């Protein structure tokens, strides 16, 4: 058992209780784990297609999320509409660059980076690439970890909307971008969950591909 | 096949051996965490989950920020923000905020208590497999630490416009994030797997 994967050994690992079950025994139980009763799959079902669909949908939502205004601010009679980028520029101009950096990284940079990384991983799996599997797995873990932080802008808007109700002095309302942005973040999180990193490693075991690269 | 474990990230089979307390077993090929041996896992997880529940109630009973300008003042709780979004017809966004900052963290704490209180008392929780599965799903949608960052951003954003006063709730929230993270790392999954094994053998 020096370097054998569960798949090569004809086993499927339960993602809930980690029990390894031979495929034949699993089929007899209609795919349910004999230890905990969860449905067991050798690989996430339809991982590549689901991941592509979610990435494409989020990429489309990324446009309205960044082009439409996120907030409407009325302050001392002036009405101002802010997109995410104009908010970042505003913070830079007023000198609070740490906040500008947080918003830029969480709302603009991370979602885009995540879409590119996931797309690159998917393409590498489609092409049967054997290039640096450890690093590709690390990249995947990173996308899973950082995705949640993109929600920060939605929460900022929630807090501002609730807090700033000072009558004629100041008022903040959420803009049209908010639902697009929220949905985009949720879909990228689902996309990361849909990807199965074991597909990266399946290429390493396939002896037919040893001549490639 | 009990003595073997497959890496959840690269599928490599490993022989599962018992670890010294406090050590973690990593996959030899991709470095993912395979399993760990925790000190006092039941007591710690249970204590932290109970603390978390108390902090959760505190965090949601008091206003977390107040704003003052020209004699006018306004304060907000988490729920009032969600209600305000709902009034502005942003149903999807308000639902999402409600789920990720209130419902999911609360369910996460309840699930922890549901699993670990009976186990501590030596009883098998009836729906252990289902609740254990839910716990891992819930964790990825519990976004309180992101909300905490948003509180900080909002405070800085409004600092130039009005006076911002942080409330009791902000501190309860900050503590809750660390407690919940600690509760989740205190869990020893091998213990749950063993408990699942027992409930199946019975």
Residue B81: which of A102, A158, A169 has the nearest Cβ?
A158
CA distance B108 to B187: 13
Phi and psi based region of residue B71 (left: phi greater than 0; alpha: psi -120 to 50; beta: remaining) = left
Closest CA to A83 of A63, A101, A102, A97: A63
CA distance B60 to B159: 23
- Closest-CA residue of B relative to A97 is B156
CA distance B130 to B114: 11
Q: Tokens 């003595």, residue? A: B3
What is the per-residue pLDDT for A122? 96
- Residue length, chain A? 213
What is the per-residue pLDDT for B74? 82
CA distance A71 to A79: 10
What is the per-residue pLDDT for B157? 83
- Beta-carbon-side half-sphere exposure of residue A44 (alpha carbons within 13 Å): 19
Interface test with B, best of A5, A13, A15, A17 (most B CBs within 10 A): A17
Q: Tell me the per-residue pLDDT of A85-140, one tens digit each, with 9 for 90 and over.
A: 998 998 888 888 888 999 999 999 999 999 999 999 999 999 988 888 899 999 99
Q: What ipTM is given for this predicted complex?
A: 0.88
Contacts of B87 in chain A (CB under 8 A): none
pLDDT-derived band of residue A208, with 50, 70 and 90 as boundaries? low
B8 CB-near residues (< 8 Å, 6+ apart): A13, A15, A18, A198, B32
Q: Tell me the per-residue pLDDT of A128-158, one tens digit each, with 9 for 90 and over.
A: 888 888 999 999 999 988 999 999 999 999 8
CB B72 within 8 A of CB A167: yes
Interface test with B, best of A105, A155, A203 (most B CBs within 10 A): A155
CB A91 within 8 A of CB A100: yes
Q: Which A residues, 174 through 193, put their C-beta within 8 Å of a C-beta on chain B?
A: 174, 178-179, 182-183, 186, 189, 193
A37 CB-near residues (< 8 Å, 6+ apart): B129
Q: Which B residues, 107 through 126, put their C-beta within 8 Å of a C-beta on chain A?
A: none
What is the per-residue pLDDT for B7? 92
Q: Identify the burial level of A208 via C-beta atoms within 10 angstroms of its C-beta, where 0-12 means exposed, 13-18 middle and 19 or more buried.
A: exposed
Question: Between B30 and A77, whose confidence is greater?
Answer: B30
Contacts of B75 in chain A (CB under 8 A): 163
pTM of the predicted model, to two decimals? 0.90
Q: Tell me the per-residue pLDDT of A142-201, one tens digit each, with 9 for 90 and over.
A: 998 899 999 999 999 988 888 887 666 678 888 899 999 999 999 999 999 999 999 999
Average pLDDT, stretch A1-13?
81
Contacts of A164 in chain B (CB under 8 A): 67, 74, 158, 161-162
Nearest CA-CA distance, residue B51 and chain A, Å: 24
Question: Between A61 and A26, whose confidence is greater?
Answer: A61
Closest CA to A12 of A33, A30, A28, A37: A33
Q: Which B residues, 133 through 152, put their C-beta within 8 Å of a C-beta on chain A?
A: 133, 136, 140, 143, 146-147, 149-151
Task: List chain B residues with pLDDT less than 70.
Answer: 1-2, 199-202
CA distance A182 to A155: 10
A38–B13 C-beta distance less than 8 A: no
Residue A16 pLDDT > 90: no
What is the per-residue pLDDT for A211? 42
Contacts of A15 in chain B (CB under 8 A): 8
Please give the full DSSP string across chain A, using - where no structure is assigned: -TT-BTTTTTEEE-TTT--EEEHHHHHHTTTB-TTT--B--SS-TTHHHHHHHHHHHHHHHHHHHHHS-SEEEEETTEEEEE-HHHHHHHHHHTT-HHHHHHHIIIIIIHHHHHHHHHHHHHHHHHTT--S-HHHHHHHHHHHHHHGGGGGHHHHHHHHHHHH-B-TTSEEEEE-THHHHHHHHHHHHHHHHHH--THHHHHHHH-GGGGG--
What is the per-residue pLDDT for B71? 77
Structure tokens at A96: 């609070």
Beta bridge partners of A80: A73
Angle at Cα B143 formed by Cα A97 and Cα B36, nearest 5°? 110
Residue A11: which of B6, B69, B94 has the nearest Cβ?
B6
Q: Tokens 């439409």, residue? A: A68
Nearest CA-CA distance, residue A172 and chain B, Å: 11
CB B125 within 8 A of CB B133: no
What is the per-residue pLDDT for A1? 42
Q: Which B residues, 57 through 96, put their C-beta within 8 Å of a C-beta on chain A?
A: 65, 67, 69-70, 72, 74-76, 80-85, 88, 90, 92-94, 96
What is the per-residue pLDDT for B2? 62
What is the per-residue pLDDT for B112? 94
């Amino acid at each position: 058992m020096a370097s054998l994967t569960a798949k090569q050994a004809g086993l499927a690992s339960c993602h809930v209780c980690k029990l390894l079950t031979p495929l034949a025994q699993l089929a007899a139980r209609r795919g349910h784990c004999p230890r905990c009763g969860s449905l067991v799959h050798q690989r996430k079902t339809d991982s590549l297609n689901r991941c592509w669909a979610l990435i494409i949908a989020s990429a489309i939502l990324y446009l309205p999320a960044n082009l439409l205004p996120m907030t409407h601010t009325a302050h001392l009679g002036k009405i101002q509409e802010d997109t995410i980028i104009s908010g970042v520029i505003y913070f830079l101009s007023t000198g609070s660059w740490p906040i500008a950096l947080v918003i830029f990284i969480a709302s603009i940079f991370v979602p885009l980076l995540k879409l590119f990384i996931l797309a690159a991983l998917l393409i590498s799996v489609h092409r049967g690439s054997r290039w640096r599997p450890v690093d590709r797995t690390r990249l995947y873990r990173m996308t899973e970890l950082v995705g949640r932080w993109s929600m920060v802008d939605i929460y900022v808007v929630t807090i501002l909307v609730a807090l700033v109700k000072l009558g004629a002095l100041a008022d903040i309302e959420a803009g049209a971008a908010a639902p697009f942005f929220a949905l985009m973040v949720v879909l990228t999180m689902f996309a990361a969950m849909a990807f199965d990193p074991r597909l990266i490693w399946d290429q390493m075991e396939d002896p037919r591909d040893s001549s490639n690269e | 096949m009990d003595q073997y474990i497959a890496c959840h990230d690269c599928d490599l089979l490993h022989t599962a051996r018992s670890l010294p307390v406090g050590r973690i077993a990593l996959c030899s090929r991709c470095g993912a965490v395979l399993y760990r041996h925790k000190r006092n896992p039941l007591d710690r997880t249970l204590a932290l989950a109970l603390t978390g529940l108390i902090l959760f109630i505190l965090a949601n009973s008091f206003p977390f920020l107040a704003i003052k300008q020209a004699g006018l003042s306004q304060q907000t709780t988490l729920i009032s923000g969600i209600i305000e979004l709902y009034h502005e017809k942003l149903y999807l966004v308000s639902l999402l905020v409600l789920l990720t900052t209130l419902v999911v963290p609360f369910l996460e704490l309840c699930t922890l208590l549901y699993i670990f209180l009976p186990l501590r008392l030596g009883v098998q929780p009836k729906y252990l497999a289902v609740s254990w599965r839910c716990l891992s799903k819930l964790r990825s949608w519990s976004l309180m630490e992101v909300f905490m960052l948003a509180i900080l951003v909002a405070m800085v954003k409004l600092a130039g416009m009005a006076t911002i006063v942080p409330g009791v709730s902000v501190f309860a929230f900050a503590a809750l994030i660390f407690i919940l993270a600690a509760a989740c790392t205190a869990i020893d999954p091998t213990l749950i797997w063993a408990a699942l094994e027992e409930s199946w053998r019975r």
